């Protein structure tokens, strides 16, 4: 699995615990020697030998000589002679202070999860200064922010059997993600300008015709509290934070057909039933920056002892995410068109 030249940073996120993303991460590390110096960090504790919840053994994150990592002094001190400590990130994790270090030899690593998007940005910048040419971001379970285009250039999504003990449940939940990833991007200047202003000012920005207005509210609930603002015939409203079911229901109750602009899909915390009602009323959601999804990886085996038919799972997930290529975490590892030259 080689890293394309235009991709300087890549996130790997799993839709559930034990989805198989560590296996994907190791495949990237193994198959990308031509990518130059790799840097790796996490937004959740990973690399542990046993799962923190189930206690089951997990694959370790392997590092090559000269790779750069962002992790805690606690872990680095457990492997004396294995690491060249470069500098502190000035960030505290649950494992302690986070440092940038270079591997002196091949081995394994326990990554200290960065607690915030700003912390991850800081660590990524320090990895680049230390010489990282490509950066891999290991996304925490049930946390969307690592896939944000504000953080990384592209994403690999990992869907495992652990997502649901019922095969139909896995396909349904995967389908919800595929629909979010298909949301349209802003395609005109007023929408792009409003979305950028919302992020810059941390305010709701309204669009009426070609007029763009920064509103005196930080979120949509503030508009609800000022009733006259909600009665205005806004064609679109851009926000900088999360969009939730309660916010969409506010527009449903007012029978408002409005376009809502969010920075990217990591800001969406909406259910499919409410989203469908919002669209049926004439509303729409657009994203300022779409996520570049490079691959979807599937893992039909759960550590809880059950599994699904590999071919059927890959085929059904493939239909949902077409034309994005889908690969099997384990079975396609060494096949041409699987993990070879996948990026």
Q: DSSP secondary structure string, 26-46?
A: HHHHHH-GGG-SEEEEESS-B
Q: Is 337 within the bounds of a domain?
A: no
Q: Is 242 within the bounds of a domain?
A: yes
One domain for residues 109 and 244: no
Residue 233's domain is classified under what CATH number? 3.40.140.20
One domain for residues 168 and 53: yes
Cα separations (Å) of 59 from 62, 159, 323? 9, 17, 30
One domain for residues 226 and 167: no
Q: Is 16 within the bounds of a domain?
A: yes
DSSP 195-253: HHHHHHHTS-EEEETTEEEE-S-SSHHHHHHSHHHHHS--SEEE-SS-EEHHHHHHHHH
One domain for residues 203 and 310: no
Q: Is 279 within the bounds of a domain?
A: yes
One domain for residues 164 and 263: no
Residue 126's domain is classified under what CATH number? 3.40.50
Asked if 212 and 198 touch (Cβ cutoff 8 Å), the reply is: no
pLDDT confidence of residue 342: 46
Q: Kindly give, in sequence order, each residue whose CB lies less than 8 Å from that of residue 204, ignoring residues fewer than 6 positions away.
A: 198, 215, 217, 218, 219, 220, 222, 223, 237, 238, 239
Asked if 137 and 151 touch (Cβ cutoff 8 Å), the reply is: yes
Residue 221 sits in which domain range? Answer: 189-287
Considering the entire predicted model, what is its pTM?
A: 0.86
One domain for residues 176 and 30: yes
Q: Is 48 within the bounds of a domain?
A: yes
One domain for residues 103 and 217: no
Instruction: Give the chain's domain count.
Output: 2
Taking the C-alpha atoms of residue 110 and residue 95, their distance in angstroms, rounded to an integer, is 10
Q: Kindly give, in sequence order, each residue whose CB lies less than 8 Å from that of residue 246, ignoring residues fewer than 6 positions away.
A: 221
Half-sphere exposure at residue 6, Cβ-oriented, CA atoms within 13 angstroms = 3
pLDDT confidence of residue 210: 82
User: Residues in the chain, how many?
Assistant: 343
Cα separations (Å) of 299 from 16, 20, 47, 68? 11, 6, 18, 28
Helical segments of the chain, H only: 21-31, 73-77, 117-129, 167-181, 189-201, 220-225, 227-231, 245-253, 272-280, 310-321
One domain for residues 29 and 127: yes
Asked if 242 and 267 touch (Cβ cutoff 8 Å), the reply is: yes
* Ordered per-residue pLDDT tens for the chain, 343 residues: 555 668 899 999 998 888 888 889 998 888 776 778 999 999 865 545 555 555 565 567 999 999 999 999 988 998 889 999 999 999 988 888 999 999 999 999 988 888 888 999 999 999 999 999 999 999 865 556 667 888 899 999 999 999 999 999 999 999 988 998 889 999 999 999 999 999 999 999 999 888 999 998 888 877 665 555 665 678 999 999 999 999 999 889 888 889 999 999 989 999 889 999 999 999 999 999 999 999 999 999 998 999 999 999 999 999 999 999 999 977 876 554 445 554 4
pLDDT confidence of residue 336: 47
pLDDT confidence of residue 230: 60
Taking the C-alpha atoms of residue 174 and residue 290, their distance in angstroms, rounded to an integer, is 18
Closest CA relative to residue 320, chosen from 25, 15, 18: 15
* Cβ burial 273-301 (10 Å sphere, 16+ → b, else e): ebbebbeeeebebbbbbbbebbbbbbbbb
Q: Is 98 within the bounds of a domain?
A: yes
One domain for residues 86 and 219: no
One domain for residues 46 and 119: yes
One domain for residues 177 and 53: yes
One domain for residues 149 and 45: yes
Instruction: State how far Cα 206 lies from the chain centre.
Output: 28
Instruction: State how far Cα 300 lies from the chain centre.
Output: 21
Closest CA relative to residue 335, chosen from 113, 93, 27, 48: 27
Asked if 162 and 54 touch (Cβ cutoff 8 Å), the reply is: no
Q: Please give the angle made by the CA atoms of 74, 66 and 138, to the nearest 5 degrees.
A: 60
Instruction: State how far Cα 333 lies from the chain centre.
Output: 22
Collapsed DSSP state (helix, strand, coil) of residue 126? helix
Q: Is 343 within the bounds of a domain?
A: no
What is the CB neighbour count within 10 angstroms for residue 246? 13
Taking the C-alpha atoms of residue 6 and residue 4, their distance in angstroms, rounded to an integer, is 6
């Amino acid at each position: 699995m080689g890293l394309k030249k235009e991709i300087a940073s890549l996130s790997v996120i799993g839709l559930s615990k034990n989805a198989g993303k560590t296996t994907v991460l190791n495949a990237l590390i193994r198959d990308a020697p031509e990518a130059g110096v790799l840097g790796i960090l996490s937004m959740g504790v990973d690399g542990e030998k046993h799962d923190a919840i189930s206690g089951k053994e997990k694959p370790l994150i392997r590092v090559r000589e000269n790779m750069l990592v962002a992790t805690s002094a606690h872990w680095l001190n457990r492997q004396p002679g294995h690491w060249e400590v470069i500098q502190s990130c000035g960030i505290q994790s649950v494992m302690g202070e986070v440092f940038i270090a270079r591997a002196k030899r091949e081995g394994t690593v326990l990554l200290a999860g960065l607690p915030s998007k700003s912390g991850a940005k800081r660590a990524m910048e320090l990895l680049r200064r230390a010489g990282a040419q490509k950066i891999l971001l290991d996304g925490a379970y049930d946390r969307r922010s690592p896939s944000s285009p504000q953080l990384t250039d592209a994403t690999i999504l990992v869907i495992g059997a652990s997502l649901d003990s019922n095969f139909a449940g896995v396909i349904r939940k995967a389908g919800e993600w595929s629909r979010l990833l298909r949301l349209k991007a802003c395609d005109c200047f007023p929408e792009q300008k409003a979305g950028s202003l919302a992020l810059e000012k941390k305010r709701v920005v309204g669009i009426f015709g070609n007029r763009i207005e920064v509103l005196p509210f930080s979120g949509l609930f503030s508009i609800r509290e000022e009733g006259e603002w909600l009665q205005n015939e806004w064609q679109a409203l851009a926000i900088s934070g999360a969009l939730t079911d309660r916010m969409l229901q506010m527009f449903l109750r007012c029978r408002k057909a409005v376009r809502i602009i969010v920075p990217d899909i990591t800001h969406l915390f909406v259910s499919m039933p409410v989203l469908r009602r919002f669209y049926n009323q004439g509303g729409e959601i657009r994203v300022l920056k779409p996520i570049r999804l490079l691959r979807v990886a599937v893992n039909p085996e759960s550590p809880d002892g059950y599994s699904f038919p590999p071919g059927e799972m890959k085929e059904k997930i493939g239909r949902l995410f077409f034309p994005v290529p889908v690969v099997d975490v384990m079975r396609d590892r060494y096949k041409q068109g699987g993990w070879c030259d996948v990026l």
